[in-house]
C-alpha cells in the first residue's frame, strides 16, 4: 500500500452507522467514511430512493453499503436500528447521529406537539441510539459516536425554539455519554451553521443566517464531512462540540 493509500484508508475496516444518509449532510458523511476505508450502513426513514442513490455512489468506490430503515421518532425503532446495522455490518465502530427535523415554529403557532416531535426525532433518538450503540461498543472494546447538533443549540433561533432546544439537548447528551462511556468510547458533536437551505424556509432566511456568519457565505456538506473525519482522527478529543459555522457562534 502506498503512503497515499495508507493515509486515505485511515478508517479501514471500521463499521459505521449514519442516520439520515439519504441526502445532503448525511450522504456527504457516509461517502467520506467510505472514501477513507470504512463501511457505512445507510439509514433512511422515508427516502429509500435517496439511500439507494447514496449506496450507488459508495459502490463506485468498491464498498457495499447496507441500507437500514427506522422511524427515529419511535425509541424502540432507534434501538432495533442499532441491532440491524450491527448485524448487517458484522459489528459497529462508529455512529453518526445525523437525522433530524427542522420545522419553523413561530411563537403564535408553536404547540406542545412541536416540542415533543423535535425532542423525539432530534434528541431522544440520539439518546436511544447512543445508549444501545455505546453499550455494544463498550463490550467490543471501543468506538466513536458523533452527533450532529446545530449553532442554534447555543444561540436559539426564535422561530425555531423546539428545534433549538432539541439541539441543546444533543450537546448535553454528547457530554453525558462521553462521560458514561469513557474511556472506551468517545462521543463528540458537530454544530453546523448555515450549510444548505432547508425546505420551508422563508424567503431571505438563509441569506440572513449567512449574514450572521463571519465568513459571509454558506458552508458545504464537505465542511461537515471534514469535521467528522477530524473528530475520528483526533483521538484525544472527547465530549467536545465543534462549531463548523463560519464563525457564527462568536459573531
Ligand atoms: N442543513 C444545514 O444547513 C444544517 C445546519 C445546522 C444543522 N444541521 C443539522 O445537520 C443534520 C443534517 O441536516 P440536513 O439539512 O442534511 O437534513 P435534511 O436534508 O433535512 O435530512 C434529514 C434526514 O433526517 C431523516 N429523518 C427525518 N425525520 C426522521 C425520522 N422521524 N426518522 C428517521 N429519520 C428521519 C431524513 O430521512 P428520510 O429523508 O429518509 O425520511 C433525512 O435523511 C441535521 O441534524 C440538522 O439539524 C443542518
Residues belonging to the active site: 163
Task: Check if 67 has its Cβ closer than 6 Å to any atom of ligand 1.
Answer: no
Q: What is the pLDDT of residue 6?
A: 47
Task: Check if 75 has its Cβ closer than 6 Å to any atom of ligand 1.
Answer: no
Q: What is the pLDDT of residue 5?
A: 52
CATH pick for 3-250 out of 3.10.105.10, 3.30.310.50, 3.40.50.720, 3.60.20.30: 3.40.50.720
Q: State the Cα–Cα distance between residues 138 and 227, nearest whole angstrom.
A: 24
pLDDT, tens digit (0-9, with 9 covering 90-100), for 232-251: 999 999 999 999 999 999 99
Q: What is the pLDDT of residue 201?
A: 87
Beta bridge partners of 189: 147, 241
193 Cβ partners below 8 Å, 6+ apart? 151, 209, 212, 213, 219, 243, 244, 245, 246, 248, 249
How many Cβ atoms sit within 10 Å of the Cβ of residue 80? 15
Q: Is 194 exposed, middle or buried (0-12, 13-18, 19+ CB in 10 A)?
A: buried
Cis geometry, peptide bond prior to residue 183 (ω within 30 degrees of 0): yes
Ligand 1 centroid to Cα of residue 41, in Å, is 16
Nearest CA to ligand 1 atom 39: 47
Ligand 1 atom nearest the C-alpha of 148 is 45
Q: Where are the domains of the chain?
A: 3-250
How many Cβ atoms sit within 10 Å of the Cβ of residue 14? 21
Q: Which of 17, 19, 20 to mutate to test the pocket of ligand 1 (most atoms within 8 A of CB)?
A: 20
Q: State the Cα–Cα distance between residues 47 and 161, nearest whole angstrom.
A: 26
Residue that wins the pLDDT comparison between 201 and 16: 16
Ligand 1 atom nearest the C-alpha of 199 is 20
Give just the sign of the alpha carbon dihedral 4, 241, 165, 106.
negative
- The pTM is what? 0.97
Q: State the Cα–Cα distance between residues 188 and 183, nearest whole angstrom.
A: 13
Mean confidence (pLDDT) of the chain = 96
pLDDT, tens digit (0-9, with 9 covering 90-100), for 107-154: 999 999 999 999 999 999 999 999 999 999 999 999 999 999 999 999
Q: Which of 17, 40, 45, 128 to mutate to test the pocket of ligand 1 (most atoms within 8 A of CB)?
A: 45
Task: Check if 246 has its Cβ closer than 6 Å to any atom of ligand 1.
Answer: no
Amino acid at each position: 500500500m502506498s503512503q497515499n493509500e495508507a493515509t486515505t484508508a485511515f478508517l479501514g475496516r471500521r463499521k459505521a452507522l449514519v442516520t439520515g444518509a439519504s441526502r445532503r449532510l448525511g450522504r456527504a458523511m457516509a461517502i467520506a467514511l467510505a472514501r477513507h476505508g470504512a463501511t457505512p450502513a445507510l439509514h433512511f426513514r422515508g427516502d429509500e430512493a435517496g439511500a439507494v442513490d447514496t449506496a450507488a455512489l459508495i459502490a463506485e468506490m468498491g464498498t457495499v453499503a447496507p441500507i437500514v430503515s427506522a422511524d427515529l421518532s419511535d425509541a424502540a425503532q432507534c434501538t432495533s436500528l442499532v441491532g440491524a446495522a450491527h448485524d448487517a455490518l458484522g459489528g459497529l465502530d462508529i455512529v453518526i447521529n445525523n437525522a433530524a427535523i427542522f420545522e419553523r415554529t413561530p411563537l403564535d403557532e408553536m404547540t406542545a406537539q412541536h416540542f415533543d416531535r423535535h425532542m423525539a426525532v432530534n434528541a431522544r433518538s440520539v439518546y436511544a441510539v447512543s445508549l444501545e450503540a455505546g453499550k455494544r461498543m463498550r463490550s467490543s472494546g471501543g468506538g466513536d459516536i458523533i452527533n450532529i447538533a446545530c449553532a442554534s443549540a447555543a444561540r436559539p433561533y426564535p422561530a425555531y425554539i423546539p428545534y433549538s432546544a432539541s439541539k441543546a439537548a444533543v450537546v448535553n447528551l454528547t457530554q453525558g455519554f462521553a462521560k458514561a462511556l469513557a474511556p472506551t468510547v468517545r462521543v463528540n458533536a458537530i454544530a453546523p451553521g448555515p450549510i444548505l437551505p432547508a425546505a420551508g424556509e422563508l424567503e431571505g432566511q438563509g441569506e440572513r443566517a449567512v449574514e450572521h456568519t463571519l465568513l459571509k457565505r454558506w458552508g458545504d456538506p464537505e465542511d461537515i464531512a471534514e469535521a467528522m473525519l477530524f473528530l475520528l482522527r483526533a483521538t484525544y478529543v472527547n465530549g467536545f462540540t465543534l462549531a463548523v459555522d463560519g464563525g457564527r457562534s462568536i459573531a
